[in-house]
A and B are shown apart, each in its own frame.
Chain A
């Protein structure tokens, strides 16, 4: 114990049991040497706070004698760290070998974005890991303890995870580096990116009082409503939040983590709004909120927003024109397109642009006039951005795809083309303004559907009634628009995130802690918001975090439901969970129908947020990544008052089974009392499938219409097999549950075989109409978690399905389905990721597929047949595995596009 003793004599002692301490800071180092012993791998560089910068290959090697002389049977490791980048095999301090089946030593670090503590007592390294991901860039206090019987991990003084592990630590038998700031063993080296304030080793466990003190000290700013940034104009954004307590609030922000600019909020109450101006374009900004409290200043994590996502139009000084005010009167103020066919002097164009947020595109047949106007506008920096002029020798037929203009008009007294041509160019709900002063509003595209929830309607059928003009093959659809958002918007391949939504002419899309609204018909970005707490992934085992109606977008953020104005993104109100759950739960399920909004409560930390590393949520068998998220209650709220109307809570509601249709709310519920008491809110154990009930509530009152014990599962038993995923969906007649049941061998390992089992309950009385099954096609890439496409007369799951209402297996297959995305339906076919793992259209009539080469969707659902279009917002551009297009786009049925004749080059 000589070296340990030496340490004790040279280090300040903060805790009676502390036996070693290292401070990788300017003060804690002497040149490249760490005090009292240790060596940096590279020339140290320190940040402005004096912390050693861990980046590239930087790490600190400690004398391994120290590691060997630590107490093996009971010890604790304490650290204060800031991780800037999640990664696999992140290690803050380690003395370990992990070579195939030979695992020894211990590691305090992180795996992906979750802090973890691993330790071997002779067998494999056993791990305890925090279920909630850490906030990159935020300082966190960690305490990892082992007492010879149990290993535990405390994050900011709060127990995050613990498990049994018996006996003294088994140290590596071969030479092993003892390292701070990297995982390093015989053949592996993974340095971290971030900062470490200190690492301490104790030979005793922390007391409850010490942990409570750490928790109090670590607590950050307390929010009533979490912060977000909404873009207003080029270079301008609004940062807003609500504090939980009154007091001075300050933000610091800048184009790097050094922040820089400091602004004090002028708000006297809880609601803060700070206008950020003169922001640089295409820049990732960091910001931090601080507030004064009785315990001193508290700080939020460092959050980010990216001005590269700011596509708001440039504002212009108002210009007037006799026609402009009239044309724009009562037209929604939002970005989009104004199409002007035929000019006189062009003065209408700047008037339209300045009095609206529309991009004004004018077609005219006089080249001299066009060029004269172009030059004037270019000199003002307006041509090509807010106003574009296009020369067209013949104005009778405009070569523009149909349904584009929010406003379509002319500057002339006489129409230069048939009025039907102006109507053709007008988007649904857009305005055609004729020279005689009459306005018409364009009707929806016939046969249009709305995709308001994760799987279309809240009944989860993955079919919205969209006819797509009768199209059945890719060649029958033409490009409607192409462009932003691009690959920089999302989380690489959108790891089973919430699906986009499309309703009332708008398309909503989620990316990396951000969301955006677009005009579904012309791709114009309507508004964008950066919300650090937005993220939810692994939707097949949970439910989406949003839904939309004609006027509002409903988004679950932590414990609140944000109700946003669909046209502008402004927050209208927030809905709270039931009082009993406000401190302990987060908002889970979200849906609406008629005047009712439905929400549910899930236990804190139950939602999936992890996406870095092997977070694909595709594993077969019972696994923590394929557990179901469960709700403790479900409630109804009024859209008229935004107040709660009813609440139901009896058992654990399995989120992906919750379905809503025609005033009825159906789900599967576990009433196993042991599980209700013990669950973390995310469950993969067999206990979940004991005492399951199918329940149907009246969605307007919350009263039970019927409840039925769920029959025995078809493949899984109490002894073997597993439920991979469970879905609910509703037709006009019944509540359909689709369980993916996997088989296991005698050792409990998945055999790779499984079935989709279907149970169809009569909506009127809950009577079971049938049980049925089809076999898995395979057990990977989402095939075994295939979400059903439900028509009134049949159900499709990979690779076939069943008939309704009989439940008989279909006599045909669909596909091929390749890659990991979900399948959705139109009236005439299925859309899926298929041939060459590209988007594919499978025809109901022909039973054959056609595909769009190199068009890659997300890993779950990023394509929607809705609004008369096939909408494909970007979902796979961050997948580094292929030549994908990295773009958003929309298709329109060729017969609705305005294309006549063939398209062949003029030779």
Chain B
């Protein structure tokens, strides 16, 4: 069952006097993509920034698996399709896979405040904690810079050597840092990893002193995609393999979530992992909800690759329609339904005395199934989005050359505007909407005066 993620948001956001920040990739360490603060509408474009076309780590998937007659394979390592942004202190940050730098822009003007270069691509935006900006690079290092000035505070080699090899016209470490940096409870985690036949390294350091707390080695994995933290665990995507689960306190792996896959991952307050696509065998795009304790699949969202959850409601797209589901109610009903179905299974219909009870349970099941249909609160015809996030009562939708804002209660479009390219990155923060596209553009919208 999935409950509201609201409490988390308050904990993770840097709240200024004016507005709520977006301090890390998809807002928080559970990668929920939910901000508590709505944007003041209508918005108008304040400025755009051309960050150069992203140079993605991996190409797209094969056109098909022709032997299996399986078409429309989904990309499972598309973790860097645009220059994702973070926002705090009226500044906007992004890491560039194009020019190897972390950029800090003045949120009001788009002017560059500072640039901090690394020796290779930066694939996730910096995590902003207080006045520190944390980021990893394909050069195998992790960096910490002053978030306001860009001044280097320190850098640490996460890879076991300085060795560089060519990759797509650049040089990278055979152990690039492609997990971003996750900072929580005074600790920072990151992984250096790429080749499954080489040892991968998970680092945990003190977020204040940068002293090593532990370093663990992992065989047979390729840790790539934004790391998640929740409960006492870390979750690291692997793309075409299931995400790895590790203990926060000592960095030891406890296993994988076999029902999950891909690099789109979010962790609910109940520590349920929603991830996808789980593999390339499915005929449609899927997100699966898995219980992180048992690893079992709880539910499947078919024909979708993005979901955002807030206040017990899930917003997702499936077959030409954008929809809102009451997840809290759906979870309760499904739990009750499962109990009744189990009860029914135990009752032998050949025993006459069971018949009244069987009839009673069947009626209850029928009633629950009817109620389940009511969990669909609204749905509207809508093209498939590249990203969904929430700001207060607003559902923000990234589309091809467009961004839209819908009312979460009704699905009614409140505002929409054109952008250049596919809108993969959405950051509603500090009264602004920042949109990152696959062509490398960053559009910033603010409330019309």
Interface residue ranges, A against B (CB under 8 Å): 85-88, 281-282, 308, 311, 313, 337, 359, 361, 370-371, 374-375, 378, 381, 383-385, 388-391, 399-401, 404, 474, 478-493, 495, 512, 522-524, 611-616, 851-855, 877-887, 899, 903-907
Query: Given known contacts A483-B167, A878-B61, is B55 in contact with A492 (CB within 8 Å)?
Result: no
CB distance from A308 to the nearest CB of B (A): 7
Majority DSSP secondary structure for residues of A touching B: loop
**Residue of A474, A615, A877 touching B61 (CB-CB under 8 A):** A877
**Residue of B62, B67, B100, B101 touching A490 (CB-CB under 8 A):** B62
CB distance from A851 to the nearest CB of B (A): 8
**Residue of B66, B67, B168, B222 touching A483 (CB-CB under 8 A):** B168
Given A87-B69, A878-B63, list of 11 further CB < 8 A pairs?
A308-B59, A374-B117, A401-B164, A486-B60, A487-B59, A488-B59, A613-B69, A880-B73, A885-B222, A886-B58, A906-B157
What mask results when residues 196 to 227 of chain B are scored 1 for a CB within 8 Å of chain A, else 0?
11000100000000001001000010100000
Bound: A611/B66 CA distance, A: 7
> Is B356 close to A, CB under 8 A?
no
Decide if B101 touches A479 in the complex (CB within 8 Å): no
> Is B399 close to A, CB under 8 A?
no
Question: Could you pull out 9 A-B pairs where Cβ atoms are within 8 angstroms?
Answer: A85-B71, A370-B117, A384-B96, A400-B163, A478-B174, A479-B165, A883-B238, A903-B161, A905-B157
**Residue of A370, A493, A522, A904 touching B166 (CB-CB under 8 A):** A522
Chain B, 107-145, CB within 8 A of any chain A CB = 115, 117, 119, 121, 139
> Is B68 close to A, CB under 8 A?
yes
Residues of A within 8 A of B121 (CB): 384
Decide if B77 touches A482 in the complex (CB within 8 Å): no
CB distance from A730 to the nearest CB of B (A): 33
Decide if A488 touches B160 in the complex (CB within 8 Å): no
What mask results when residues 83 to 101 of chain B are scored 1 for a CB within 8 Å of chain A, else 0?
0000000000000101111
- Leading 3 A-B pairs by shortest Cβ distance: A878-B62, A486-B59, A880-B280
CB distance from A836 to the nearest CB of B (A): 10
CB distance from B243 to the nearest CB of A (A): 12
Pick the most buried of A375, A851, A906: most chain B CB atoms within 10 A of its CB: A906
Decide if B166 touches A492 in the complex (CB within 8 Å): no
Residues of A within 8 A of B197 (CB): 474, 851-855
Residues of B within 8 A of A611 (CB): 66-67
Decide if B157 touches A880 in the complex (CB within 8 Å): no
**Residue of B70, B99, B281 touching A383 (CB-CB under 8 A):** B99
Residues of B within 8 A of A882 (CB): 240
CB distance from A607 to the nearest CB of B (A): 17
Pick the most buried of B98, B99, B100, B121: most chain A CB atoms within 10 A of its CB: B99
Residues of A within 8 A of B59 (CB): 308, 484-489, 886
Query: Given known contacts A483-B166, A907-B215, is B69 in contact with A388 (CB within 8 Å)?
Result: no
Decide if A903 touches B160 in the complex (CB within 8 Å): yes
Decide if B163 touches A903 in the complex (CB within 8 Å): yes
Decide if B62 touches A488 in the complex (CB within 8 Å): yes
Closest to B116 in A: A371
Closest to B161 in A: A903
Decide if A886 touches B61 in the complex (CB within 8 Å): yes
Pick the most buried of B67, B160, B163: most chain A CB atoms within 10 A of its CB: B67
Residues of A within 8 A of B201 (CB): 905
What mask results when residues 225 to 242 of chain B are scored 1 for a CB within 8 Å of chain A, else 0?
000000000000011110
Closest to B169 in A: A359
Bound: A878/B69 CA distance, A: 11
Decide if B69 touches A88 in the complex (CB within 8 Å): yes
> Is B392 close to A, CB under 8 A?
no
> Is B415 close to A, CB under 8 A?
no
> Is B177 close to A, CB under 8 A?
no
> Is B259 close to A, CB under 8 A?
no
Closest to B195 in A: A479
Decide if A488 touches B63 in the complex (CB within 8 Å): yes
Residues of A within 8 A of B55 (CB): 384-385
> Is B274 close to A, CB under 8 A?
no
Closest to A475 in B: B197
**Residue of A383, A493, A906 touching B100 (CB-CB under 8 A):** A383
Decide if A881 touches B160 in the complex (CB within 8 Å): no
Query: Given known contacts A523-B166, A878-B73, A905-B160, is B119 in contact with A390 (CB within 8 Å)?
Result: yes
> Is B348 close to A, CB under 8 A?
no
Decide if A880 touches B63 in the complex (CB within 8 Å): no
**Residue of A374, A399, A486, A886 touching B163 (CB-CB under 8 A):** A399
Decide if A614 touches B67 in the complex (CB within 8 Å): yes
> Is B344 close to A, CB under 8 A?
no
Query: Given known contacts A374-B101, A524-B169, A852-B197, is B60 in contact with A488 (CB within 8 Å)?
Result: yes
Bound: A878/B65 CA distance, A: 5
Bound: A665/B167 CA distance, A: 41
CB distance from B66 to the nearest CB of A (A): 4
CB distance from B201 to the nearest CB of A (A): 6
CB distance from A421 to the nearest CB of B (A): 14
> Is B170 close to A, CB under 8 A?
yes
Pick the most buried of A479, A851, A887: most chain B CB atoms within 10 A of its CB: A479
Residues of A within 8 A of B98 (CB): 384-385
Decide if B240 touches A884 in the complex (CB within 8 Å): yes
Decide if B63 touches A512 in the complex (CB within 8 Å): yes
Decide if A492 touches B65 in the complex (CB within 8 Å): yes
Residues of A within 8 A of B212 (CB): 907
Residues of B within 8 A of A400 (CB): 163-165, 171
Decide if A905 touches B100 in the complex (CB within 8 Å): no
Residues of A within 8 A of B71 (CB): 85
Query: Given known contacts A485-B59, A853-B197, is B117 in contact with A371 (CB within 8 Å)?
Result: yes
Residues of A within 8 A of B239 (CB): 883
Residues of A within 8 A of B160 (CB): 903-905
Pick the most buried of B65, B166, B222: most chain A CB atoms within 10 A of its CB: B166
Decide if B171 touches A388 in the complex (CB within 8 Å): yes
Closest to A388 in B: B170
CB distance from B263 to the nearest CB of A (A): 13
Residues of B within 8 A of A484 (CB): 59, 168
Bound: A337/B166 CA distance, A: 9
Residues of B within 8 A of A378 (CB): 99, 101, 115
Bound: A493/B70 CA distance, A: 12
Bound: A128/B70 CA distance, A: 25
Query: Given known contacts A381-B52, A488-B59, A905-B159, is B164 in contact with A399 (CB within 8 Å)?
Result: yes
Bound: A907/B204 CA distance, A: 11
**Residue of A384, A512, A883 touching B99 (CB-CB under 8 A):** A384
Decide if B168 touches A479 in the complex (CB within 8 Å): no
Residues of B within 8 A of A903 (CB): 160-161, 163
Closest to B201 in A: A905
Decide if A486 touches B119 in the complex (CB within 8 Å): no
Bound: A612/B67 CA distance, A: 6
Decide if B65 touches A880 in the complex (CB within 8 Å): yes
Decide if B166 touches A491 in the complex (CB within 8 Å): no
Closest to A487 in B: B62
Decide if B167 touches A488 in the complex (CB within 8 Å): no
Bound: A313/B215 CA distance, A: 40
Decide if B66 touches A491 in the complex (CB within 8 Å): yes
Residues of A within 8 A of B220 (CB): 853-854
